[in-house]
């Protein structure tokens, strides 16, 4: 059996999820070839689990000062090259194409008549009960058409009475004791200067700041770190708290490790704004619409968060895929989702009823 696995590489979260899936596939006889798009190859790091992977330009967002710049995003991307790459990608030898919101592999699979499986957080937003903050017609069109799939496995922190799966959160058992005064910070869309200004008043805490523009150094209460998968995972395990953007994968890892969590969404980015709202309403994290020292101070005084325990989601997805390819019969997604949620646990915040998912006014204008 052969699978082509496309990964949207604009954010590290998609790659993190793909690492967990690669490890699960490695336990089977299925051959998986990976393709990454949305980031230059020289900016990818710690990619050994993916073997001889392919890279394409794809699409990405233009950001500045913690918000998406839509006009520059349109100018930055080349849709003609995206369509050309998908037309030229050879997929006829594959039994299945998996796309983690990666458009080139999704479109190539559709063109060749190969089944396309969408796997990722973005596919959760196609379900009507999932909180989705003020989507414009353009946002909705992009969400539904960027990386189309025949079958979709949407991932989220709660099922919202829909056939959604828990996160693929590849973390090991956390240490018995975290360093409660140590906070890991990952805000790659904010400037280092803004991050320092935000955290400077809290000189009784230690902050480990990972950032694409950082060089490894120590400066008072700040420890700056350049991107490193191994170092980041080690520091995440020992930190008592996490400040990050409102993506999906890092908050999922932090929740499974039982870390106190504060998220700041990338503004004008519908997915992150919706994630921030969902985390707040599920009682899983505190949010700040913009960098705000007062909110950080309040959050630092709060007690540690409860730990969410997810099962081996990646392993069960791989078993589900293998059975589908071998037998030609697809077990209903709702059945897979039910098994996984039954094996998940949390001590607070769940389950919410749909009526409890309400709009938060502070995000409406952002």
Q: What are the tens digits of pLDDT across the range 7-45?
A: 999 878 999 999 999 999 999 999 999 999 999 999 898
Residues 236 and 285 in one domain: yes
Residues 43 and 119 in one domain: yes
Residues 9 and 145 in one domain: yes
pLDDT at residue 244 is higher than 90 = yes
| DSSP helix/strand/coil, 284 | coil
The CATH number of the domain holding residue 6 is: 3.40.50.2000
Check the CA dihedral 199-201-202-204 and report its sign. positive
Residues 74 and 151 in one domain: yes
Structure tokens at 147: 């990386």
Nearest by Cα to 121 from 148, 153, 144: 153
Residues 68 and 187 in one domain: no
Using N-to-C axis directions, what is the helix angle for 12-25 and 249-256, rounded to 10°?
Answer: 60
Mean pLDDT, range 310-320, rounded to an integer: 96
Nearest by Cα to 288 from 260, 263, 305: 263
Which of 268, 301, 334 is a domain's end point? 301
End-to-end CA distance of the chain, in Å? 46
Structure tokens at 64: 């500045």
**Confidence at residue 304, expressed as pLDDT on a 0 to 100 scale:** 75
Residues 109 and 207 in one domain: no
Strand partners for 218:
223
Whole-number Å distance between alpha carbons of 270 and 276:
10
Flag whether 306 is in a domain.
no
pLDDT at residue 210 is higher than 70 = yes
Flag whether 350 is in a domain.
no
Flag whether 357 is in a domain.
no
Q: What does pTM read for this prediction?
A: 0.90
For residue 129, the enclosing domain spans 2-169+311-342
Structure tokens at 38: 């949305």
Residues 82 and 24 in one domain: yes
Residues 220 and 126 in one domain: no
**Confidence at residue 213, expressed as pLDDT on a 0 to 100 scale:** 94
Residues 294 and 322 in one domain: no
């Amino acid at each position: 059996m052969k699978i082509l696995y496309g990964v949207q590489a604009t954010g590290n979260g998609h790659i993190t999820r793909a690492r967990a899936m690669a490890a699960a596939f490695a336990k089977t006889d299925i051959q998986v070839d990976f393709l990454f798009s949305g980031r230059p190859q020289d900016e990818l790091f710690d990619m050994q689990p993916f073997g001889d992977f392919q890279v394409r330009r794809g699409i990405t967002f233009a950001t500045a000062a913690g918000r998406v710049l839509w006009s520059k995003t349109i100018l930055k991307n080349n849709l003609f090259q995206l369509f050309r790459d998908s037309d030229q990608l050879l997929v006829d030898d594959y039994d299945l194409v998996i796309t983690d919101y990666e458009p080139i592999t999704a479109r190539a699979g559709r063109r060749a008549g190969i089944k396309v499986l969408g796997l990722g957080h973005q596919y959760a937003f196609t379900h009507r009960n999932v909180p989705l903050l003020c989507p414009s017609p353009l946002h909705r069109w992009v969400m539904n058409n960027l990386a189309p799939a025949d079958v979709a496995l949407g991932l989220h922190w709660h099922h919202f009475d829909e056939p959604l799966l828990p996160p693929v959160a590849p973390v090991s058992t956390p240490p018995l004791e975290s360093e409660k005064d140590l906070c890991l910070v990952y805000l790659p869309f904010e400037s280092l200067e803004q991050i320092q200004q935000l955290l400077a008043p809290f000189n009784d805490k230690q902050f480990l700041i990972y950032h694409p523009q950082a060089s490894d150094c120590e400066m008072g209460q700040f420890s700056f770190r350049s991107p490193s998968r191994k170092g980041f995972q080690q520091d995440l395990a020992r930190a008592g708290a996490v400040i990050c953007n409102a993506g999906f994968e890092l908050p999922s890892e932090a929740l499974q490790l039982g870390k106190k969590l504060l998220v700041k969404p990338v503004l004008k980015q519908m997915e992150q704004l919706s994630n921030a709202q969902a985390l707040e309403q599920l009682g899983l994290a505190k949010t700040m619409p913009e960098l705000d020292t007062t909110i950080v101070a309040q959050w630092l005084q709060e007690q540690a968060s409860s730990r969410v325990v997810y099962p081996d989601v990646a392993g069960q997805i791989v078993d589900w895929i293998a059975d589908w390819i071998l037998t030609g019969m697809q077990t209903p997604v709702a059945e897979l989702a039910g098994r996984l949620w039954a094996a998940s646990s949390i001590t607070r915040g769940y389950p919410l009823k749909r009526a409890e998912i309400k709009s938060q006014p502070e995000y409406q204008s952002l």
